[in-house]
């Protein structure tokens, strides 16, 4: 880790920087009973691209055969050509965009997964992470299971395959009861979808004419003109049939605890989650931040993209002008990976550039939604100073991230999180800002319309700030062990 000395932080050595931040999660999409199932799935995945950029896949079913196309890379690079869509025949399809949390970004881990079961084909995709996947995998392998991938998702296939229940939905539920997870799933042929007992990851249900649609976010319904019906409830399995929708519960109903980071950073601002507009919530977080941590500046500057709505809220509440003092290049994804150190130092200029005439000689209030490793903050503060900013005050619309995620977000190890072992002043010095402040944990809840966090029954999953994980983390219990999941080298 680099030094935290203030003088050095103003002229940071960027050579250590890695693209090791809060990466995205995954997006799932499924459609049942529509003649253009694959084409609509490709559109849905395009709308969910922000949730994962490593790989994309679609599996369709025509009543007799499954068809599968799974690729490393972006949806737009692989699923826009007529021949590819034509190969994915049938009136039901599922799709996935992946950011790996278990198993590398290699072809054998690209979802949706497919297997032949005794009762027919089964395809599955998943957003989240099974916190006991390694434990289950070990015991399955001992019993003779032959794993084809290194992703946690595959464990579900084995559990369903081994179930002795009669109906598919019963087999599926028996499998779900064995995993500890954050997980919306969608499984065609059986047209079933499930959301984890806490509802940590979002999953919505929509209707397009006679078709049922399931997606991680409402923005994927909007792109195909589907009507929002409702959210899949936590602990619910829904099964789409030509006669309607069946609903089964696999755990008793209790209050959901969505991951609060969906609102802060992951979801697209035009999505509606839990009845709240993500855009409005982000703006409200910015307003609350302005109330809690006012700053003396000439103008508010967002760190684009995800810092923009909070910055608008901050500017409105503080009465300061809002200016785009940083321009973001839209041809660089959320997770651009620079190939070597020398190039990495240029990385920030590839993604963000100073709008010099706006910031020169000004005292600016920089707003971002989160600080993970501090990579972005260090780069941007330095860039603002090089562009001639007089003062740089940094305000963050989420509390300090002190704990890693194990539910589908690829966070760095705890010791790489900037806030894990530093005081506020140490973080300020590290970033090189003139002042630094984060919204409080209660402030986040206020922005969501509550008086404060209910410590007895927290309204959201907020372990990143509080260290309070809602599920057991079974794979991490006991002494840390290096597990080799496979003897096959993981290459793309
Ligand atoms: O402290 P760090 O490790 O740099 O991570 C935090 C940054 O990462 C995210 O942005 P990202 O660049 O991923 O995406 P965005 O363009 O959607 O804001 C987030 O919005 C912060 O800007
Ligand atoms: N980010 C995610 O939701 C990933 C899903 C799954 N754990 C995988 O690694 O494929
Ligand atoms: Mg950002």
Report whether 196 contacts 128 (CB < 8 A): yes
| pLDDT tens by residue, 101-126 | 888 889 999 999 999 998 889 999 99
- The confidence score (pLDDT) of residue 328 equals 92
Residue 102 in contact with ligand 2 by CB distance below 6 A: yes
Asked whether residue 74 falls in the same domain as residue 146, the answer is yes
Residue 267 lies in a domain: no
Reported as a pLDDT band with limits 50, 70 and 90, residue 284 is very high
CA quadruple 429, 381, 348, 288: dihedral positive or negative?
A: positive
What separation in Å is there between the alpha carbon of 370 and the centre of ligand 1? 7
Asked whether residue 152 falls in the same domain as residue 292, the answer is no
Asked whether residue 191 falls in the same domain as residue 333, the answer is no
- The confidence score (pLDDT) of residue 339 equals 40
Residue 408 in contact with ligand 2 by CB distance below 6 A: yes
Question: Looking at residue 326, which CATH number applies to its domain?
Answer: 3.40.50.2020
Q: Would you say residue 348 has pLDDT above 70? A: no
Residue 309 in contact with ligand 1 by CB distance below 6 A: no
Specify binding-site residues for Mg(2+): 306, 368-369
Instruction: Report the candidate in 169, 161, 171, 71 with the shortest Cα–Cα distance to residue 112.
Output: 71
In the chain, the number of structural domains is 2
Give yes or no: 26 in active site: yes
Asked whether residue 436 falls in the same domain as residue 323, the answer is yes
Q: Would you say residue 15 has pLDDT above 50? A: no
Residues 305-329 as b or e (16 or more Cβ within 10 Å = b): ebbbbbbbbbbebbebebbebbebe
Specify whether the backbone of 349 is left (phi greater than 0), alpha (psi in -120 to 50) or beta: alpha
Residue 22 in contact with ligand 1 by CB distance below 6 A: yes
d(CA 482, CA 474): 15
Residue 468 lies in a domain: no
What separation in Å is there between the alpha carbon of 237 and the centre of ligand 3? 34
d(CA 152, CA 196): 15
Asked whether residue 230 falls in the same domain as residue 341, the answer is no
d(CA 393, CA 380): 11
> Which of 26, 185, 266 to mutate to test ligand 2, by most ligand atoms within 8 A of the CB atom?
26
Q: Would you say residue 18 has pLDDT above 90? A: no
Dihedral over alpha carbons 279, 281, 284, 285 (to 10 degrees): -110
Asked whether residue 209 falls in the same domain as residue 323, the answer is no
* Residue 302 tokens, joined: 């967002």
d(CA 128, CA 183): 5
What separation in Å is there between the alpha carbon of 72 and the centre of ligand 1? 22
- The confidence score (pLDDT) of residue 184 equals 61
Question: Looking at residue 105, which CATH number applies to its domain?
Answer: 3.60.20.10
| pLDDT tens by residue, 242-269 | 888 999 998 888 889 999 999 999 999 9
In order of 65, 186, 218, 329, the CA distances from 270 in angstroms are 36, 23, 8, 20
d(CA 34, CA 339): 42
* Alpha-helical regions (H) of 370-449: 375-386, 424-431, 441-447
Asked whether residue 235 falls in the same domain as residue 292, the answer is no
Asked whether residue 429 falls in the same domain as residue 293, the answer is yes
Residue 381 in contact with ligand 1 by CB distance below 6 A: no
Residue 19: nearest ligand to its CA? 1
Tell me which residue has its CA closest to atom 12 in ligand 1: 334
Percent of the chain at pLDDT > 70 equals: 87
Domain that holds residue 42: 27-256
């Amino acid at each position: 880790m680099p030094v935290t000395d203030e003088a050095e932080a103003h002229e940071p050595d960027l050579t250590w920087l890695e693209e090791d931040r809060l990466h995205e999660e995954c997006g799932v999409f499924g459609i049942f009973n529509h003649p253009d199932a694959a084409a609509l799935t490709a559109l849905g995945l395009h709308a969910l691209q922000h949730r994962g950029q490593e790989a994309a896949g679609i599996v369709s079913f025509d009543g007799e055969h499954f068809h599968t196309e799974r690729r490393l890379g972006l949806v737009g690079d692989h699923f826009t050509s007529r021949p590819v869509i034509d190969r994915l025949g049938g009136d039901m399809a599922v799709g996935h965009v992946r950011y790996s949390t278990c198993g590398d970004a290699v072809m054998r881990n690209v979802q949706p997964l497919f297997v032949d079961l005794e009762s027919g084909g089964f395809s599955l995709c998943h957003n989240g992470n099974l916190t006991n996947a390694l434990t289950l995998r070990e015991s399955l392998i001992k019993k003779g299971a032959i794993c084809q991938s290194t992703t946690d998702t595959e464990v579900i296939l084995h559990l369903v395959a081994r179930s002795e229940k009669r109906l598919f939905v019963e087999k599926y539920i028996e499998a779900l009861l064995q995993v500890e997870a954050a997980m919306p799933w969608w499984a065609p042929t059986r047209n079933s979808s499930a959301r984890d007992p806490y509802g940590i990851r979002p999953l919505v249900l929509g209707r397009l004419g006679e078709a049922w649609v399931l997606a991680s976010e409402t923005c994927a319904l909007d792109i195909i003109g589907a009507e929002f019906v409702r959210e899949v409830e936590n602990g619910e399995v829904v099964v789409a049939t030509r006669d309607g929708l069946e609903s089964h519960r696999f755990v008793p109903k209790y209050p959901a605890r969505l991951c609060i980071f969906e609102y802060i950073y992951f979801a697209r601002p035009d999505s509606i989650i839990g009845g709240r507009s993500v855009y409005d919530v982000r703006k409200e977080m910015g307003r609350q931040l302005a109330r809690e941590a006012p700053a003396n500046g000439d103008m508010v500057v967002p760190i684009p993209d995800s810092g923009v709505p909070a910055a608008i809220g901050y500017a409105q509440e503080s009465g300061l002008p809002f200016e785009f003092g940083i321009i973001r290049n839209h041809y660089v994804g959320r997770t651009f990976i620079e190939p070597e150190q020398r190039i990495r130092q240029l990385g920030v200029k590839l993604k963000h550039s100073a709008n010099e005439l706006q910031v020169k000689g000004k005292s600016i209030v920089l707003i971002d939604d989160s600080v993970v490793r501090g990579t972005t903050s260090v780069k941007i503060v330095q860039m603002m100073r090089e562009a001639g900013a007089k003062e740089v005050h940094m305000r963050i619309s989420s509390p300090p991230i002190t704990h890693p995620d194990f539910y589908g977000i690829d966070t760095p190890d705890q010791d790489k999180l900037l806030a894990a072992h530093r005081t506020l002043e140490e973080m300020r010095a590290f970033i090189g800002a003139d002042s630094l402040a984060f919204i409080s944990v209660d402030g986040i809840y206020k922005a969501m319309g509550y008086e404060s966090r209910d410590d007895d029954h927290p309204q959201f999953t907020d372990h990143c700030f509080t260290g309070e994980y809602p599920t057991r983390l079974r794979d991490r219990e006991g002494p840390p062990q290096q597990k080799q999941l496979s003897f096959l080298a993981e290459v793309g």
